[in-house]
Each structure stands twice: as structure tokens, then as C-alpha cells.
Amino acid sequence: MTLTNKAVENAKPRDKAYKLADSDGMYLYVTTKGQRYWRLDYRYEGRRKTLALGVYPDVSLKKAREKRGAARTQLADGIDPSAQKKAEKLSSAGKESFETIAREWFEKFSPNWAPTHSSKIKIRLEQDVYPYAGKRPINNLAAPEILQLLRRIESRGALETAHRVRQHIGQVMRYAVATGRAERDPTQDLRGALPPTKVKHHGSITDPKRIGALLRALDGYKGQHITRCALKLTPLVFVRPGELRTAEWAEIDLEAAEWRIPAHKMKMKQPHIVPLSTQAVEVLKDIHPLTGHGKYLFPSIRTWKRPMSENTVNAALRRMGYEPGDMTAHGFRSMASTLLNEQGWHRDAIERQLAHAERNDVRAAYNYAEHMPERRKMMQAWSDYLDGLKKGGKIIPIGKQG
């Protein structure tokens, strides 16, 4: 017995999904949530296959039967309806705009990115790409057109941004290729088309006397207390600025004197342990009465639901008279790396504490706690050394001598 419009309309969900047969292999598939899908079962070259005909009520019983008839005609001509449908989709796929696919790519992958990274990519695409190439069919977007877009960015003195945008466009194009909506990635043809960027070094102070003066300036900072504590903690832990500003109280164990940073916050996507010296613990105990009831150690002054701005520490350094070429928030890492190596600490312990890339990804996943006894000793000795520099006396670092 074939289906009627009334039977289709009255098809209600049950405890299990079920089928209502029409004829010639077509049926209505009803899910436990009440969705109703038209499907056609058929055989092609001895294999059983299923073709989706649409969703009711968008596709009526009459329309579903027309689609079934068209599919049967294709079968009679030796054509697989499913393969034909896929081919038609691919042939029209190139008509989708770059912006449509770029936004799809962004929504799919951005949840795995750090918020600052995600925000930068979104801004670059919306300001530098979509206005000029967003409406272009992605399969028609060619290398010369992309280069013109990149040179527009370069012309305003943002060469590094131009290189980043080329990288983002390439990622979107490769996603389009993988999903069958573009034939190739034209950004591969642009290698060498832009001038190389100059390597920028983060300003850093490594002279012991100047470090002492800097530490005294940090102690005397007259701004917000939250910012002052962030400034005092930075040289003691020498993590990346983004890792410091997004630090959460849930990651801190004051009794164990340990800060465990989860993998998703780390640049290398591996968990990281920061042994806390007695001086670092003192800073945390100082700020705990102020921010300990919230999520972040260093919340924004505007809303405690967000961490402090990524520019806060650098802006504070500028107010104290330190220019970008002299000292930056990131420069505390270079300071520690340089002096700890000079003092003779085990290089692998230093690199592990800096959370630099491990060449072997499998090894990195399991060895984030490697060299921990020496790292604990090193972090305390480093804080003691900084205390000595701050007092201005002649300092003999406690390294591996003797």
C-alpha cells in the first residue's frame, strides 16, 4: 500500500525510529525526535545503496515521488543516482564565496585556538580579505588577485600582517579543497612574492645592574595593585605573557608551591608545570584577598569575568620609562634564559621550564614534568638571585658551580 498525504502528515515519533514504505524502494524515515526524511533504497552494480530525497514538509510526498522517478530513470540509463548527485554538488561548489567558506572554516577550528589568536585571525579576515575578495567564488580566486590584496596590506607598512593573511587564505583554500569545493590552493604560487619579514627581537635586559634597577622599579610601581603584582610575578616565573595574564586560581596550589597550566593555554599545546619559589608564593598570597574569590589571578579592571588586557604589563613598563627596544613582558623570558645558562644550570631543565618546543611530540606529551627536582631548585635559586640584584649588592649566583 502506498502512502497518503494524511499518513505522512500524521507520522509521529516513537520510542524507536521507523519507516513508512511508499513504493519502488521509497519510504519516509521518522526519527525519535519527529524529523521526517524521504529516502530511496536501490541497488547499483549489485550493491545496496540509499539516496536522500529531502526532508518533509519542505519536500512533499508528490515532490519526493518525482525525485524517485528521476532516480529510477538514471538507474535505467546505467547511472548511479548517489554518484550523480555528488558530482552535481561538486560542479556547483566553486560558486560558493570565499567568505562563506572562510567563516565555516573559522567556526570549525577556532574553538581549539587561544582567544587572542582567534581574535587576530577574525580581524585580519574581516578587515583585509572579505571587503576585497569575500564575495568571489572560491574556485575562481587566483594567485594574482590574492597578491594584489596582499600588496594592499604591504603598502601600509604591515608586511608581517600580509604574510599572516597569505597564511590564513591558504588554510581556507586547503579546507575548501579537502571539502570538495575548490580544486587547489593558489597561495602556493605566491611563495617569494612578498619580501621577507625582518626578525623582531623582544626587548630584554640581561645586565645584572640594570636588572636590579628594573626590579626596584617594579616594586615601586604606582598603578593598580593587580598590575603591580603581575609585574612582580613576571620575572619570577618567566612564562609567556598570555599564560600569565590568563592564569586562574584553580591552576594554583599554594601548599605544593606549584602552578599547573593546562595544555590548551600553552603555545605548544602541552601541559606545563611552574614550580613557585617562596617569593612567587608571597606575591600570590598578597593578591589572593583581592582576586582569590574570582576566576583570574589578574582580572581586567573593567570586568572580573575577563583577564587583564594583553597590553597591561607592557603599558606599565612604558609608564616606568622602559621603551619596547629596552624591555618587554616577553623579555623576562630572554632575561632568565640568558642568565640561567650563564650560571651553568642544565640546559634541558631551562628549556623545559621555558616550555620550548619538544622535537618529539610523543615525548613532549609525557615529559612536561621532566627535570622537575632541578627545576624546583633552579626556580628558587633564580628568585633568590633576583632578590640580591634588587638589593644592589655583589651577587654570586647559585648555579651548578661546585
Which pLDDT score is estimated for 362?
Answer: 42
Kind and range of the H or E run holding 54: strand 47-56
Q: Do residues 354 and 337 lie in contact, with contact meaning Cβ atoms separated by under 8 Å? A: yes
Q: What amino acid positions are annotated as catalytic residues?
A: 240, 267, 330, 333, 356, 366
Judge whether residue 25 has pLDDT over 50: yes
Three cell numbers, residue 93: 561548489
CA 80 from centroid of its chain's CA atoms: 42
- d(CA 148, CA 103) in angstroms, rounded, equals 22
Cα–Cα nearest to 356, from 338, 337, 341, 342: 337
Mean pLDDT of the chain: 89
Residue 402, pLDDT above cutoff 50: no
Reply yes or no on whether the pLDDT at 46 is more than 90. no
Q: What is the pLDDT of residues 114-125, one digit of tens each?
A: 777 888 999 999
Q: What is the mean pLDDT of residues 342-361?
A: 80
Structural contact between residues 238 and 336, judged by C-beta atoms closer than 8 angstroms = yes
With cut-offs at 50, 70 and 90, classify the pLDDT of residue 90. low
Residue that has been written with the C-alpha cell 505522512 in this structure? 8
For 209-215, the CB contacts below 8 A with 24+ separation are 209/389, 211/335, 211/386, 211/389, 212/389, 212/390, 212/391, 212/392, 214/322, 214/327, 215/386, 215/389, 215/390
Please tell me the distance from the alpha carbon of residue 50 to that of residue 80, in angstroms, as a whole number: 11
What phi and psi, each to the nearest 5 degrees, are found at residue 336?
Answer: -65, -45
3-class secondary-structure state, position 237: helix
Does 38 score more than 70 pLDDT? yes
Cβ neighbour number for residue 190 with a 10 Å cutoff:
17
Each residue's pLDDT tens digit, 185-224: 999 999 889 998 765 567 899 999 999 999 999 999 999 9
Q: How many CA atoms lie within 13 A of 286 on its CB side?
A: 15
Please give the grid coordinates belonging to residue 357: 618546543
Domains of the chain: 5-92 (3.30.160.390), 98-190 (1.10.150.130), 208-391 (1.10.443.10)
More confident call, 131 vs 394: 131
pTM listed for this prediction: 0.54
Separation of alpha carbons 23 and 28, rounded Å: 11
